[in-house]
Amino acid sequence: MDRSKLREMTIKSLRAQAESLGVKRVNALKKEELVEAILKAETSASKTGAPSAKVSSQSVKSAKSSEAAEAVKGQASKPTEKSEDKKSDKAEVKKSGKSGGKSMRGAKSLKAAEAEDVEAAEDEAVEAEATEAEAKASEEVSEKVTEKVEEPAPVEPDSIFIDRGAILPEYVPGTCLYALVRDPGTLFVYWNATFESDNGWLLTAYDHAGNVLQSFTTPARRNGRGYFRVPTARVSRVTLSIVREYGEPEVKLESRIRIAQQLGIAQPRPAYDERWVDFQKHEVIYEAPAPGRAPAFAEIYQSVTAPAMTGGGYDRSVENQNISGVNGGSLSSRFGSLPGSSDTLVGSSDRLIRK
Amino acid sequence: MSLQGYLSIVLHAHLPFIRHPEYPDFLEEDWLFEAMTETYIPLLRMMRRLTDDQIRFRLTMSLTPPLCEMLADPLLQERYARHLDKLSELAEQQRIEKRGTPFHDAAASAADELAETKRLFNEEWHRQILPVFKGFQDQGSLEIITCGCTHGFLPLMATDEARRAQISIAVANYKKHFGRAPRGIWLPECAFVPGIDALLAENGITFFILESHGLTQSNPPARYGTFRPVVTPSGVAAFARDLESSRQVWSAEIGYPGHPNYREFYRDCGFDLPYAQVRPYLHEDGVRRNTGLKFHRITGKLPLDRKEPYVPAWAAETAAEHAGNFLFNRQAQCRYLKEVLGTTPHITAPYDAELYGHWWYEGPTFLEMLMRKTACDQDEIVMITPSEYLQIETVHQEVMPCLSSWGANGFFEVWLNDGNDWIYPHLHCAEERMVELTRKFPNADGDLRRALNQAARELVLAQASDWAFIITTNTSVEYAEKRTRDHISRFNGIYFQIMENRLEMNWIAELEWKDNIFAEIDYHAYTPVNHKASAGAVYTSDDD
């Protein structure tokens, strides 16, 4: 059937037509997609000689959007489409001189190329054996090319059907408020509520002291998503509240943000300045306490007396020196000297000694 | 001059799992075919040439589980062979057609390359290229590392169980393909949050690759920045990306791939040839697309129609020059760093594998020349794999890297934004349901076990970070959305069938046939851990 005639039909009758041709999932198809599917089914039927060819709604595959755009520009149908479509195809080719022109130019240039190829192949065949083989191959390929060019020049298709996949439920089940750190300045939240709110929702992000960092209101939908632009390291919790008639919020859901610490944004500093471990043995080789951390007497005692440097502390003899004397020379043998490390050591040692 | 530094080149080879047995051919399967022709096989050929010439080289590659599954899949192998046949035919046509024109060298070179690729793939490797990678790993030149099982974006998952499953399923898959456990991992999108290191340690992983600022802003600060690996409190080593070596290759402005002599990616026969001629090599829909045959060089910042003919010899020469320049810069960098830091620096240079060959056609030549020059022309830089380095240098600073990824702006914006955030409620819900199923049926067997395993497959396929990425980059959005929707929908279907005790095994079998990734999958990967979700747990007022 003619494409234009099909386009004039109602969607209901198109569906019926498509169904009769064995097209699946007709209810999921839009009008233009139905037209395409019908034409395709008819083409397949005429090709195979079968009364109807089954075409699923997925039979025309998705394409990159840019390419799809080009396809839409191109217009027309496939070379194998049956004669009924030719009228409309011709009309469309006229409209889009680009694709038709390209095909014509292609035919001409190929014929010319073919003639040149044969001549060139003959010349080269005389010159050397290697080129002879190539020339032979060229003749074969030229024949193939000729065969293909002799076929009616196909034109580029006009549109493609895009399968968008299954439809997902609008809501996830249950009641939830979920917060995810996207970056140090953005917190993503989504929620799903099973209760009503006439005046919309109020979403609020609080810091650890209970201060409001940011809040925003949303329409009274049962679910939604949004972003807080807040320093995520400071966020302690997020709440979802019902807005009462006089603006008084009532907290209904709460999401505690444990993520900030876990995501390394607000990790507490460890109790050491620097620690080196043996990767293979899983042993601490060297550890310097954090600045400002007051070591206990036992630690000081241990650091002065203990021969090994594990467990936090180091030999007084390294004071104002390079690290190369630490731990019986094991570090120096491993790393050589570590410029800059003496500063750390001096600073830490000073505190250690003063204490 | 003596040793000044170590260099680890790490290539991340990944493609999402795309396999559609329900169609005779499928457009997006071409992604694999293009990468095979332009990247994976050229890299293998490069490694073979180096081995044949007894050149010492060290390369690290992550071959992600979905990629391994696709490379080992007979259906895709068959389709790739068909794809190669068609492409070779077109290349041979072009070789002849371009004779006597300035494009002949480019056409002849492309035809020769394709013929050799075809011979190797079909005759020598019998369509199996994973064993060839394995062979180089076994001889010690190549270190293959793993990745999240479907490249799921770990920090944006709701539960530790889901993160753990991404890693444990990947480890099992690696063992299946390479006969031993992986030592290292490329975290999907290099996305790290503290806590992931513990999951890696649980699975026997000893190192991972990290984005630069994951280490430069670590806690406590890393003494040597990105120039030495660190160890996390869980005992896993982290190698951070070196910015300087990355920029030299990646940068659109100053990077090597933009040189005028290199092949122009955006000028392709698929658009240049007359439609009648190119039609037999297009997909069923007949839309013009890239074929992979490109005969122009970049030339300069010019419109595509003013690009000049590609000259393979010039490009090869330029690639060699760039390899020399890259090595020279690493030498200078390491000399300086060694003097300033007082320790022998280690440079980690990670790249997308597909940059080499697919985007940057001469990339494999560049790498080969770099390996040759490093091995033969100097002794200041030693190429090394991360595992080897950890054998040589055993003492490292212990720090906790920070939140980071290698996406735009360094965090998670690419995978979580207005365009794609709708997927997370569904994914999180599916994660929780999968954990619930595993808790409810700890000892399933028979049909129920098959259904549970398929549910796990559908969940991991839905989690691939590629879908969110594609939606953001606005390339094949419809396909990415379809895949996300389909897998979540299939998962939900299985979930309800299991919970309502009405398994439709015909449908499950159909899904097993369609989404056949990870034949070895075991749903117990989702066995619940004792504590609640850690990355952003759901709390309701009722919970409190």
pLDDT digits (tens, 9 = 90+) for A218-267: 887 778 899 999 888 788 888 888 887 776 778 888 876 544 444 445 45
| Residue A95 confidence (pLDDT) above 70 | no
Q: Does A331 touch chain B (CB under 8 A)?
A: yes
Q: How far is B327 from chain A (nearest CA, A)?
A: 24
> Does residue A322 or residue B267 have the better pLDDT?
B267
Q: By the 8 A CB rule, do A295 and A240 touch?
A: no
Q: Which of A161, A154, A159 is nearest to A71 (CA)?
A: A159
DSSP state of B460: H
Please tell me the distance in Å from A9's CA to the nearest CA on chain B. Answer: 25
Residues B277, A110: C-beta atoms closer than 8 Å? yes
- Enter the tokens of residue A92: 């469309």
CB of A107 within 8 Å of any CB in chain B?
A: yes
Least confident residue range of B128-137, B213-222, B356-365: B213-222
Q: Say how far apart CA B142 and CA B166 lie, in whole Å.
A: 24
Lowest mean pLDDT segment, chosen from A318-322, B157-161, B261-265, B327-331: A318-322
Mean pLDDT for the stretch of residues A79-107: 32
Enumerate the residues of chain A whose CB falls inside 8 A of the CB of residue B470. Answer: none
Chain B residue numbers touching A157 (CB-CB < 8 A): 285-287
User: How do residues B24-54 score in pLDDT, each as one tens digit?
Assistant: 989 999 999 999 999 999 999 999 999 999 9
Distance separating alpha carbons of residues A165 and A170, to the nearest angstrom: 15
What does the pLDDT read at residue A328? Answer: 28
pLDDT of residue A38: 82
pLDDT band at B543 (very low <50, low <70, confident <90, very high): very low
Q: Does A150 touch chain B (CB under 8 A)?
A: no
Helix (H) or strand (E) holding B506: helix B505-514
Region B210-230: what's the mean pLDDT? 91
Task: Report, as an integer, the average pLDDT of B437-457.
Answer: 97
Q: In this structure, are strands A176-183 and A186-192 parallel, antiparallel, or unpaired?
A: antiparallel
Residue of A nearest to B281 (CA): A148
Q: What is the mean pLDDT of residues B210-224?
A: 89
Q: Is the peptide bond before B220 cis (omega within 30 degrees of 0)?
A: yes
Residue A11 has pLDDT above 50, yes or no: yes
pLDDT value of position B29: 95
End-to-end CA distance of chain A: 96
- Tokens for B254, please give them: 């100053």
> Is A149 close to B544, i.e. CB distance below 8 A?
no
Residue A136: what pLDDT?
A: 59
pLDDT at A292 (0 to 100): 53
The CA distance from A15 to A1, in Å, is 14
Query: How far A204 CA lies from chain B's nearest CA (Å)?
Result: 14
Q: Which two tokens stand for residue B224?
A: 């040597």
pLDDT confidence of residue B537 = 35
- The pLDDT assigned to A28 comes to 67
Give A84 or B99, the one with higher predicted confidence: B99
The SS3 of residue B332 is: helix
CATH topology of domain A176-262: Immunoglobulin-like (2.60.40)
Asked if A44 reaches chain B (Cβ–Cβ under 8 Å), the answer is no
Q: What is the average per-residue pLDDT within A36-51?
A: 64
Which residues from chain A sit within 8 angstroms of residue B343, using beta carbons? Answer: 335-336, 338
pLDDT reported for residue A164:
74
Taking residues A120-145, report their average pLDDT.
50
Report the pLDDT value the prediction gives residue A326, as an integer from 0 to 100: 30
Which of B132, B178, B142 lies closest to B387 in space, CA to CA? B142
For chain B, give the percent of residues with pLDDT over 70. 97
Q: Is the pLDDT of residue B309 over 60?
A: yes
Looking at residue A35, what is its pLDDT?
79
Q: Residue ranges per domain, chain A?
A: 3-91, 98-150, 176-262, 272-354
Residue A79 has pLDDT above 70, yes or no: no
**pLDDT value of residue B302:** 92
Residue A278, helix vs strand vs coil = strand
- % pLDDT > 90, chain B: 89
ipTM, 2 dp: 0.90
Token output for B69: 């599954």
Label residue B244 by pLDDT band (50, 70, 90). Answer: very high
Looking at per-residue pLDDT, the higher value among A172 and B541 belongs to A172
- pLDDT at position A233 is 79
A190 touches chain B (CB under 8 A): yes
Q: How many CA atoms lie within 13 A of A321 on its CB side?
A: 11
Distance from CA of A297 to the nearest CA of B (A): 25
Tell me: pLDDT of B224 over 90: yes
Please state the rounded mean pLDDT for residues A321-325. Answer: 31
Evaluate if residue B442 carries a pLDDT over 50: yes
Mean pLDDT of B511-537: 80
Chain B positions touching A61 (Cβ under 8 A) are: 23, 26-28, 283-285
**pTM for this predicted structure:** 0.77
pLDDT-based confidence at residue A311 (cuts at 50, 70, 90): very low
By Cβ distance, the residue of A141, A157, A178 closest to B93 is A141
- Contact assignment for A165 to B428 by CB distance below 8 Å: no
What residue type is assigned to position A277 of the chain? V
Q: What number does CATH give the domain B415-526?
A: 1.20.1430.10
Nearest CA of chain B to the CA of A191: how many Å?
A: 9
Of B18, B338, B20, B60, give the one whose Cα is nearest residue B184.
Answer: B60
**Burial category of A282 from C-beta neighbours within 10 Å (exposed 0-12, middle 13-18, buried 19 and up):** exposed
For residue B207, pLDDT over 70 is answered with yes
From chain B, pick out residues whose CB is under 8 angstroms from the CB of A121: 96
Helix, strand, or coil (residue A205): strand
Do A141 and B89 count as a contact with CB atoms less than 8 A apart? Answer: yes
Instruction: Name, of A45-59, A329-343, B314-328, the range with top average pLDDT.
Output: B314-328
Which spans in B261-307 are helix H? Answer: 269-272, 275-278
CA distance B208 to chain A (A): 14
Question: What are the pLDDT digits (tens) for B54-108?
Answer: 999 999 999 999 999 999 999 999 999 999 999 999 999 999 999 999 999 999 9
Where are the domains positioned within chain B?
A: 415-526
Do the chains contact at B158 and A178, CB–CB below 8 Å? yes
So what's the pLDDT on residue A257?
A: 57
Q: Mean pLDDT across the stretch A189-199?
A: 81
Arithmetic mean of pLDDT, A72-93: 33
- List the one residue out of A61, A12, A10, A18 whose CA is nearest residue A40: A18
Whether the CB of A138 is below 8 Å from some CB of chain B: the reply is yes
- Determine whether the interchain pair A62/B27 forms a contact, defined as Cβ–Cβ distance below 8 Å: yes
User: From the centroid of its chain, how far is CA A287?
Assistant: 42
The Cα A337–Cα A349 span in angstroms is: 18
Strand order in the sheet with A201-207: A212-218, A201-207, A235-243, A249-256
Average pLDDT, chain A: 58
B88: left (phi over 0), alpha (psi -120 to 50) or beta: alpha
Chain-chain contact of A120 with B93 (C-beta, under 8 angstroms): no
CB contact A348 to B (< 8 Å): no
Q: How close is the nearest chain B Cα to the Cα of A136, in Å?
A: 11
Alpha-helical (H) ranges within B291-409 are 312-341, 363-376, 386-392
CB contact under 8 A, A67 and B277: no
Q: Taken in order A113, A114, A119, A124, is the CA torsion positive or negative?
A: positive
Average pLDDT over residues B171-181: 98
Cα A325 from chain centroid?
51
The per-residue DSSP string of B121-183 comes to IIIISTT--HHHHHHHHHTTSEEEEEE-TT-B-GGG-S-HHHHHHHHHHHHHHHHHHHSS--S
Q: What is the mean pLDDT of residues A97-115?
A: 33
